Structure 1
Amino acid sequence: MQIALIAWLTRTPAIHSVSLRRSVLVAIGVIACLGASIGPACAVPADEPIQEEVSFQSHGLTLHGTVFVPRAAAGARLPGIVLVHGSGPGPRGKYVPEAAAFARAGIVTLAFDKRTDGYSLMERDFDLLADDVLAGVATLRGRVDVDPAQVGLWGLSEGGWVAPLAATKSPDVAFLITIGGSGFDPLRGQTWNLGNQLRHHGVSGAFRDAVAKPGALLMSDTGLFPEAGYDPVPVLERLRLPVLALWGEHDTLAPPAESAAVFQRALDRAGNQHATIRFVPGSGHNGHATTDGFDKVGGLVVDGKALGALGPEYADVMTSWVQSVVAGHAPRSSAEPVPAQADTSQSPSSGSWYEAAVVRYATLALLLIGFAGYPLTAWIGRAESGRNPARWPARWLSATGFVAVVGTLTYLVWIFATSGAGATAFVAGRTMPWLLLQICTCAVLLATAATAISWWRARDQVRGAVRLRLVLLILAGAVFIPWALYFRLLLP
Structure 2
Amino acid sequence: MVLASSAFALAATPAYAGPATPAYAGPAALSAPAGLAAAEVSFTAKDGVVLHGTVIAPAPAPGSGTRRRAALVMMEGAGNRGRGNLLPEAEAFARRGIVTLIYDKRTVGYSLVHRDYSVLADDALAGLRLLRSRADVDPGRLGLWALSEGAFAAPLAASRSADVKFLITVGAVGIAPAAQTAWQYGEYLRHAGVSGSLPHTLQSTAIRMTMSAGIFPEANFDPAPAWERVRQPVLAQWGALDRQAIPQESGRIIRQALERGGNTRHTIRIVPGLRHNLQLTADGGFDRIVSLPPDYGAYEASWIERSASARPGTSAGPAPADDLPVPTFTPPAWYESPWWELVAFLVFLVGFAGYPVTAVVRRVRGRRSAPPARRPARWLAALGLATTLGGLAYVLFMLATAANVIGPVVAGHPIPWLVLRLLAVATVVTTAACALSWRRHRRDMTRGDKARVGLLIGAGLVFLPWAVYWGLLV
TM-score calculated relative to the size of structure 1:
0.76
Cα shift readout 1:107-161 (whole Å, capped 9, x = no counterpart): 3332334456665555655444333322220111112232324321011112212
* Structure-1 residue corresponding to 2:31: none
Indicate yes or no: 2:280 matched with 1:289: yes
Indicate yes or no: 2:288 matched with 1:321: no
Tell me the distance in 2 between the aligned counterparts of 1:432 and 1:80. 50
In terms of mean alpha carbon deviation, does 441-450 or 392-401 score higher?
392-401
Cα shift readout 1:206-260 (whole Å, capped 9, x = no counterpart): 2232222222234445555554444433433332322221111000122212222
Report how far residue 285 of structure 1 moved.
Answer: 0.5
Structure 1 residues not aligned, in runs of 5+: 1-47, 297-304
**What amino acid is the match of 1:176?**
L
Q: Secondary structure at the match of 2:297?
A: helix
- Correspondence for 2:421 among 417, 432, 438: 438
After TM superposition, the structure 1 = structure 2 runs for residues 174-253 of structure 1, keeping only pairs within 5 Å, are 174-221=165-212, 225-253=216-244
Tell me the distance in 2 between the aligned counterparts of 1:318 and 1:70. 20
Cα shift readout 1:417-469 (whole Å, capped 9, x = no counterpart): 23345421243232232222122112101111101111222344446343344
- Correspondence for 2:355 among 360, 371, 374: 374
* Structure-2 residue corresponding to 1:137: 128
Note if contact 2:274-2:285 (Cα within 8 Å) is conserved in structure 1: no
Report how far residue 408 of structure 1 moved.
Answer: 0.8
- Correspondence for 2:380 among 381, 397, 408: 397
Tell me the distance in 1 between the aligned counterparts of 2:299 and 2:151. 17
The percent of aligned pairs where both chains have the same amino acid is 41
**What amino acid is the match of 1:135?**
A
Cα shift readout 1:294-322 (whole Å, capped 9, x = no counterpart): 467xxxxxxxx74223253x634322322
* Structure-2 residue corresponding to 1:18: none
After TM superposition, the structure 1 = structure 2 runs for residues 222-371 of structure 1, keeping only pairs within 5 Å, are 225-294=216-285, 306-310=289-293, 312=295, 315-325=297-307, 328-332=308-312, 334=314, 338-347=319-328, 351-371=332-352
Question: For the pair shown, which has the larger CA radius of gyration, 1 or 2?
Answer: 1
Distance 1:293 1:348, change over 3 A: farther
Report how far residue 392 of structure 1 moved.
Answer: 2.0
* Structure-2 residue corresponding to 1:485: 468
Report how far residue 415 of structure 1 moved.
Answer: 1.6
Note if contact 1:70-1:106 (Cα within 8 Å) is conserved in structure 2: no
- Correspondence for 1:61 among 26, 46, 50: 50
Note if contact 2:93-2:99 (Cα within 8 Å) is conserved in structure 1: yes
Report how far residue 364 of structure 1 moved.
Answer: 3.6
Q: Secondary structure at the match of 1:458?
A: helix
Distance 1:369 1:346, change over 3 A: farther
Tell me the distance in 1 between the aligned counterparts of 2:36 and 2:291. 23
Cα shift readout 1:14-34 (whole Å, capped 9, x = no counterpart): xxxxxxxxxxxxxxxxxxxxx
Note if contact 2:144-2:168 (Cα within 8 Å) is conserved in structure 1: yes
Note if contact 2:60-2:66 (Cα within 8 Å) is conserved in structure 1: no
- Correspondence for 1:164 among 155, 167, 184: 155
**What amino acid is the match of 1:55?**
V
Tell me the distance in 2 between the aligned counterparts of 1:270 and 1:392. 70
Report how far residue 177 of structure 1 moved.
Answer: 1.0
Tell me the distance in 2 between the aligned counterparts of 1:396 and 1:331. 70
Distance 1:49 1:182, change over 3 A: farther
How many residues align structurally?
433
Distance 1:238 1:376, change over 3 A: farther
Q: Secondary structure at the match of 1:152?
A: strand
Structure 2 residues not aligned, in runs of 5+: 1-33
Distance 1:174 1:425, change over 3 A: same
Distance 1:348 1:407, change over 3 A: farther
Indicate yes or no: 2:396 matched with 1:410: no
- Correspondence for 2:406 among 409, 412, 423: 423
Note if contact 1:203-1:424 (Cα within 8 Å) is conserved in structure 2: no
In terms of mean alpha carbon deviation, does 372-381 or 166-175 score higher?
372-381
* Structure-2 residue corresponding to 1:388: 371
**What amino acid is the match of 2:351?**
G
Tell me the distance in 2 between the aligned counterparts of 1:365 and 1:264. 49
Note if contact 2:227-2:258 (Cα within 8 Å) is conserved in structure 1: yes
Note if contact 1:387-1:461 (Cα within 8 Å) is conserved in structure 2: no
Quote the RMSD (CA, aligned, Å).
3.3
* Structure-1 residue corresponding to 2:459: 476
Distance 1:269 1:397, change over 3 A: farther
